[in-house]
Structure 1
C-alpha cells in the first residue's frame, strides 16, 4: 500500500477489511466457474468524473476501473453525479457524450450498465438529455430523476434506490422553493424501502449526508433523509459531490463518498470518518449472502483502503 498524506484510518477496520477482501475474491472466483451461478455481486462506484479539462486524471481512473472491473468481473457501474463538467450536456448528441464518457470508459469490463444520478453541475445543461440518453445507449441507465433497481445473486438480493438530491437538497429556503419535489422523493423512498425485503438496501445520491470535504454535511439530508435510512435498515449510502474518497459510519449505515473520478481535494477530519484520502480513484463494492467488502482504489489500481460490510 502506498504511503500518502491526508489519509487517516482506523487500523482494525482496514486489517479486517483486507482479510475480507481476500476471502471475497476467492468466493467470487469460485462462483464464476462455468455452470455455477454467481455467489456474489460486485460493482464499481465513481463520481464527479466528467471533466474534459482533467482528461488525464479521468483517463487514469478509468483505466484502473477497467483493470479492477476485469479482475472482479463487476456487473455494473454506479455514477454518483456531476457526470459532465462544467455545465452538463445540452442534448443527447452533445460531443461530451463521446469525449468525456464513451471514449474514456472504453475498457471491455466497463461495457456494462451505468446507473447514474444527476449532480449540481449536470443541471447547468439539460437534465432531460441525460435521462433521454438512456434510450440511445446500451449502457447508460437513468430512466428518471429518481428510480429503483434490484439485483438477485447467490440466493440473496440487493435493492438500489437512486435519488436526485439536487432537487431535494434544501439547505436553504430558496432551494426548498425551487425544488418542491423533495418531499415527493422522500415519500417515494420511504414507501419503496418499507416494501423492500432485500437483505441489502443501498441508496445513491449526489450530495453527501456526511462528509469531511469542502461541502461537508448536508443539514437537510441529515434531518430528512438520514432518519429514513436508519428506520429501514439501509446498508449504505453512496454519493460524490466532495472530490475525495471517504468512508464514514453513523448508527448502522455505512456512508461512502466516491467523488474523485477526475478532480480531487484534501478532506478535513470528520468525527464519523473511518478513512479519507484526496487521491483520485473509485470504490469497489462486493456483496454476498453473508457479508461484503467496500474497497477504494487509486489510479494505479492499488488498494488504498478496505472495510467489511455486515448485514
Structure 2
C-alpha cells in the first residue's frame, strides 16, 4: 500500500518534498514494534534515506542474461525448497497466496502462524508473495537483515518456494511507497540467489507446474509482473523505467508472447497493483482518485491488463490494497477474475469504496487465500485471521470447473462450506 500520496499527479520526489515543506527529507521512519521473536534479534531503526544502489551489475544485464545469471547462482545454493513436481495428497496443487506482508510485526507473525497450520493440512507446495515484501522502502542491499526480519523468520515452517513480485514499497527510495526507484528491486532479485524460500529469478518471470519432467501441457502457469514503473506515485526519472521506456516495452512483449505461447490449463497473472479493486486505492486508471498523468493513475497498467491479460488469463492476483476480495469475472474483464489479497500484515478501513461485482470481500480483517488446482477445477479459499488467537477461519470458497476434454469454463462460484 502507498501510504504517502503526492498532492498532485506526476510530481517528482524532489517537487513533492518542496511542496510538503522542510524537514521531510530528514524524517525517520518510526521504530517498529516487532513480534517478540523479532525483538530478540534486535530489529534496527530505519530511515527514509536509501543506501547505495546494490545489484547494479545485475541491472545492467539484458533481461535474458539476468535470468541466466540468477539461475546459475541459484543452482549453487544448497538445500533450496523445490518447486512441486506432483500434486498434493488431495490430487490438487495447493498454493498459499499472501500480500503486503513485510512488516516484521506481530500481525504478520499471527497471519503466518495461522497460514502455517492450513498449509500443513492442505498439503501446500508453493506460496506467492504479492509485493510490499520489505516495508517501508525496500532493502538497502541484497543481504539486508530485513530479509530475515520481515520474510525468513516470520515464514519459518512454511518451507516451500515463494514466488515473489515487487511492490511499490520494495522500489522506493526517499519517499517510502512511491515506487519511484525501481532499480532497488534488483536487490530482491539478487537475494533470491541465496534464500531457500525466496523465488525471484528476475524482475518478471513465469513458472509452470508441475516442475520438471518436460510435460508439454502444464497444469498451471504463473506470470509474475513488475507493475511499479506504470503505477508509481511519482514520475520515473530514469529513462529506462519510464512508462514508455525500454523496460516496460520489453516486459509487455515478454508477457504478450508468454501468454500467447502458454499451453497451461490454468493461467494466473501476479502483479502487485490490481486491475479492479473495491478498496480505497481504487482500480488501475484511477488509483487514489487520480485520472490524469502517466503514473499515479495507473492508466498504462490498465492498458496492459486490458490489452494483454484480460481474456487470456484465468485470474489476476494482486495486493496493494490491504483487503481481501474475490471479484467476479465480467464482460469487461472478458472472463478473467481479479483477486485482491493484501491483508497479511495490515488491514483496510472497513469500507467498500467501489462496486465492482464481488463473490466475497472483507475490508477490515487480516487474512490470506489458498489456490487449489486440478485438471478439472480451480478453487479459491479465503481465510480471515484472528490476530489474538493466531487462528484462521474459512470465510469463503469459490470454485470454477472445467471439463477435461474442453477449454471453456462452465463452473460458477460456490458458497462457503
After superposition, the Cα gap between the structure-2 partners of 1:104 and 1:173, relative to the gap in structure 1 and judged at 3 Å, is closer
For residues 337 and 194 of structure 2, what CA distance do their matches in structure 1 show?
34
Q: Distance in 1 between matches of 2:336 and 2:372?
A: 16
How far the C-alpha of 1:267 sits from its partner, in A, is 4.1
Q: Which has the higher contact order (CA 8 A, sep 6+)?
A: 1
Alignment of 1:108-187 (within 5 A): 110-124=158-172, 126-152=184-210, 157-169=219-231, 178-179=242-243, 180=245, 181-187=247-253
Note if 1:241 corresponds to 2:313.
no
Aligned to 1:261: 344
Q: Which moved more, 1:90-99 or 1:223-232?
A: 223-232
Shift of 1:185: 1.4
State the TM-score, normalized to the length of structure 1.
0.81
CA contact (8 A) 2:218 2:263 kept: no
Report what 1:73 is aligned to. Answer: 123
| Cα-to-partner distance string for 1:37-95 (whole Å, 9 max, x where unaligned) | x731110110000013xx11101100011011001111111000000111111112211
Task: Work out which of the residue numbers 296, 302, 311 in structure 1 matches 2:393.
Answer: 302
Displacement of 1:254 in angstroms is 1.1
User: Hey, what's the Cα distance between the residues in 2 that align with 1:148 and 1:65?
Assistant: 24
Size of the aligned set, in residue pairs, is: 272
Task: State the Cα RMSD in Å.
Answer: 2.3
Cα distance between partner residues in 1 of 2:114 and 2:199: 22
| CA deviation string 1:189-211 (max 9, x = no partner) | 11101101111011000000000
Q: Quick check: which one's helix share is greater?
A: 1
Contact 1:239–1:256, Cα closer than 8 Å, also in 2: yes
SS in 2 for 1:237: strand
Per-residue CA shift, 1:185-241, capped at 9, x if unaligned? 122111101101111011000000000112110012333312322342x11011100
CA distance in 1, matches of 2:196, 2:343: 25
**Residue 150 of structure 2 is aligned with which of 90, 96, 100?**
100
Partner of 1:288: 374
Please give the secondary structure, in 1, of the residue aligned with 2:111.
Answer: helix
Identify, as 1 or 2, the structure richer in strand.
Answer: 1
Structure 1: runs of 5+ lacking an equivalent: 1-30
Q: CA deviation at 1:32?
A: 4.8
**Distance verdict in 2 for CA 1:39–1:216, change over 3 Å:** same
Within 5 Å, give how 1:45-56 maps onto structure 2: 45-52=97-104, 55-56=105-106
Secondary structure of the 1:301 match is strand
- TM-score w.r.t. the length of structure 2 is 0.61
CA change 1:74–1:32 in 2 (3 A) is closer
Question: Does the CA-based 8 Å contact 2:168-2:232 persist in structure 1?
Answer: no
Secondary structure at 2:316 match in 1: strand
